[in-house]
Chain A
């Protein structure tokens, strides 16, 4: 039990990143019925955009800003206009398949145009350890956790306290009624895509220093975020947050106490159990099934 605190902090830190990715995932699902199978690759790409800007000789902070802007442009606006809009009326499945193809395309593009090797990425949180309750905890984990929590709090405030947030929630709950009462539904949907792009760019910024920038790093991350979103509740932002934190902690604890070989299996078994007994997720509302 000696390193339980370390495990918890590290788990919460990765969990908070999963939560960021999962929140974007649920936002897209809620407002436009988009299941984005490329969500993991969406996290992988911004790091490479930032690296590309840095290779051009720009300082780190400029690269971060440009990377986030490019991510908004490509993964927010571009994704919506070029792929989701033309496909939306065809239903969920073809669009989901198209995002799978997009994931392949993005992975291959990065591999081809950038590098197949893993590249180091500078951390925005200083390295080192701090002492809490007599235990040494990595500063990086704490910093990541703090930043992710700040973003999540900001996002929840945006959704619950501002007028735009309320309009977005109304759009998510019932686009038809939202349109009738005069909410610019299209613009709200675009906002969710931009928020998703922003969240994945942040997640990229936070997680890449830990796991390096690699073209294939989206696979594991995307899957973890999916599981987090489903475990927490597919149609709930706070569910996705809870799910992300839970998966992060469970994953870390499983690696330490169950077996490293089957660590990936523990969240999956959790997922299956939850889907079977509480399909709407831990915090989710039951979704009305349309036949």
Chain B
């Protein structure tokens, strides 16, 4: 990468972050709600991207982990406990469950694993719906308070949006560090070729479980933000379709790409809103768009970009080669 390219990237990154901070100041309550939802779903999708994109394990349980996190936050904060405590509980709980759920991943792979996690998703939904003493069942939990962050109340939509955005930034930094750490490299090795990874001395069992557990824990983190965002939760949003949506976000954005979940969540959360002018047709159009995208580029949106960049690079390289060759030929 050239130096200008690097500066361009940094400038683009700064511009995007500035836009995310400044532009929403003029948004109405609903716009801020949608953007906050985007930030929350991005966190959940990032977790799934770690499991799927980096460790190569298909999970259909991410929605259930969001649910667990949301219920932990709802139950604890309505009892007067701080959100940070709920966050801790959610992370530990989701990490542990993810770890246990990862065990089938060691025995079975691909579609079987998808179905084990699918089963877990449905079981979690049944628990949310039926264990009235804990989750208030179908009536749901209302009046979930929004947290105070360092003395600032986030009750109003704009501060809460910043709270979500800040959480997203923290999670992104942690993830950025993680995938560049030896762990992240081990995850990639695992995805690319498990047998070779094993022969390189990577403890594939441990890393598969780890990828599952960390990915699940991020689902829990997203859940603890989701509960105060909506301020009311019932079992319905956490059924299987949330897990399917999250999986779709990761694939559509580009699984295995760092920014894939950001784009995927943007499409899944914002595109239906933009298509709302089409009234009842918006989900239909969304489905068609997803299918067309996947037919055109099965590696998602970032896959298109990646292909384009690789192509340009090979073209540039072959142009250089051609120049070098002609120089060699004309040289005396």
Contacts and interface: CB of A to CB of B under 8 A. Distances in A.
Contacts of A261: 126, 129-130
10 interchain residue pairs of minimum CB distance: A105-B287, A94-B298, A90-B298, A101-B290, A268-B119, A108-B283, A104-B287, A108-B284, A261-B130, A112-B280
Contact of B118 (A226, A234, A262, A265): A226
B111 A92 contact: yes
B17 interface: no
Contacts of A104: 283-284, 286-287
A290 to B, nearest CB: 10
A231 to B, nearest CB: 10
B142 interface: no
A83 B280 contact: no
Interface in B270-302: 280-281, 283-284, 286-288, 290-291, 294-295, 298-299
B193 A291 contact: yes
Given A98-B291, A265-B122, A279 B286 contact: no
Nearest to B288: A105
Interface stretch (B101-109, B214-222, B318-326): B101-109
A275 B104 contact: yes
A65 interface: no
A91 interface: yes
B194 A275 contact: no
Interface string B116-145: 101110110010011000000000000000
A128 interface: no
B294 A234 contact: no
B58 interface: yes
Nearest to A271: B119
Contacts of A262: 126, 130
Contacts of B111: 35, 92, 96, 234
A87 B195 CA distance: 27
B119 A100 contact: no
B247 interface: yes
Nearest to B290: A101
Interface of A: 35, 37, 83, 86-87, 90-98, 100-102, 104-105, 108-109, 111-112, 219, 223, 226-227, 230, 234, 261-262, 264-265, 268-269, 271-272, 275-276, 279, 289, 291
A101 B119 contact: no
A100 B244 contact: yes
A108 B287 contact: yes
B125 to A, nearest CB: 9
B251 interface: yes
Contacts of A87: 294-295, 298
B287 A275 contact: no
B263 interface: no
Contacts of A275: 104, 107-108, 112, 115-116
Given A90-B298, A272-B119, A105 B284 contact: yes
A262 B125 CA distance: 10
A96 B146 CA distance: 38
Contact of A92 (B108, B110, B126): B110
A101 B287 contact: yes
A160 B258 CA distance: 50
Contact of B291 (A105, A219, A226, A269): A105
Contacts of A98: 290-291, 294-295
Nearest to A268: B119
Given A94-B251, A98-B295, 16 more contacts: A35-B111, A93-B58, A94-B294, A97-B251, A102-B287, A104-B284, A105-B283, A105-B284, A105-B291, A108-B280, A112-B280, A223-B240, A271-B115, A276-B107, A291-B193, A291-B195
